[in-house]
Chain A
Amino acid sequence: NAGVTQTPKFRVLKTGQSMTLLCAQDMNHEYMYWYRQDPGMGLRLIHYSVGEGTTAKGEVPDGYNVSRLKKQNFLLGLESAAPSQTSVYFCASSYRRSSYEQYFGPGTRLTVT
């Protein structure tokens, strides 16, 4: 079992560029989440999904889009990157019945210059 994997691990973008972060889980979890973690801010929920084909906004969704076409994958897109999106991005997944126990991926460190 790989658990939750994220690609890429690191990325540097220029302002205005776009990119997609990929999250995959092999635990058959129903729920998946994207968070960002910034110094002094804690983890903040960007978007989440309660099932294949469904997504919803979290606390800080502006500037991001997501898709969940397959149960095991959750993609996070940045259409036009901004320096304020420099952060560490974590994907997580959980069972519906125990959504408090979230399994996190190793994170993607994104720098936007």
Chain B
Amino acid sequence: QVTLRESGPALVKPTQTLTLTCTFSGFSLSTSGMCVSWIRQPPGKALEWLARIDWDDDKYYSTSLKTRLTISKDTSKNQVVLTMTNMDPVDTATYYCARSDSGWYDYWGQGTLVTVSS
């Protein structure tokens, strides 16, 4: 059974760095073709793709956010970590991690709401 779960702070202050962890089970990120992505959704708005890390440690980032994002994995712990620097109120959103092995996202975490406010 595949599951993913996001964890991290619910509230961060402007200019702070956000660190989110996606802890998963039921698959291995060392399996060829496997990927985990981070996707966010501001309240009432559309899905926005942020970053992806592949089984071979290739990494991809949103063009508009790439200077602020870092994605990494710990295969032994079944975790993917996303850091986003210099947080702003416009970054308030629900952050999801999701799995893909053929391009589409077949499993998603339940999401974690991050509010940026002083």
Question: Is the A/B pair a real complex?
Answer: no
Q: Which residues of B contact A (CB under 8 A)?
A: none
Q: Which residues of A contact B (CB under 8 A)?
A: none
